[in-house]
Amino acid sequence: MDRLLVNVPFLEPVRIKSIIDSPLKPKLLEMGLVSGQELRILFKAPFGDPIAIEVGDYVLSLRLDEARLVEVVS
């Protein structure tokens, strides 16, 4: 099932399907968010933005606007 990263529950492992075209796409790819990469959401800030995600063996912080560009599959 395809969905956006912002809709994934805490700690559920998912794989990146694609990054939606936008001016932020090159930045997300440079951060290691490439197709097939496994990730999971670790934390959300008190008002939900930003979120911390585990990507491989490191942790990234993403704004919700950035997370809305990441299509994932279970």
Which residues in the chain land under pLDDT 70?
1
Going from the C-alpha of 35 to that of each of 17, 29, 48, the distances in angstroms are: 5, 9, 25
Tell me, what's the pLDDT at 1?
Answer: 62
How far apart CA 9 and CA 27 sit, in angstroms, is 24
How far apart CA 8 and CA 48 sit, in angstroms, is 13
Predicted TM-score of the model (pTM): 0.90
Do the beta carbons of residue 65 and residue 5 sit within 8 Å? no
> What residues contact residue 9 under an 8 Å CB cut-off, 6+ apart?
41
List 3's β-bridge partners, or say none: 72
Q: Letter for the amino acid at 24? A: L
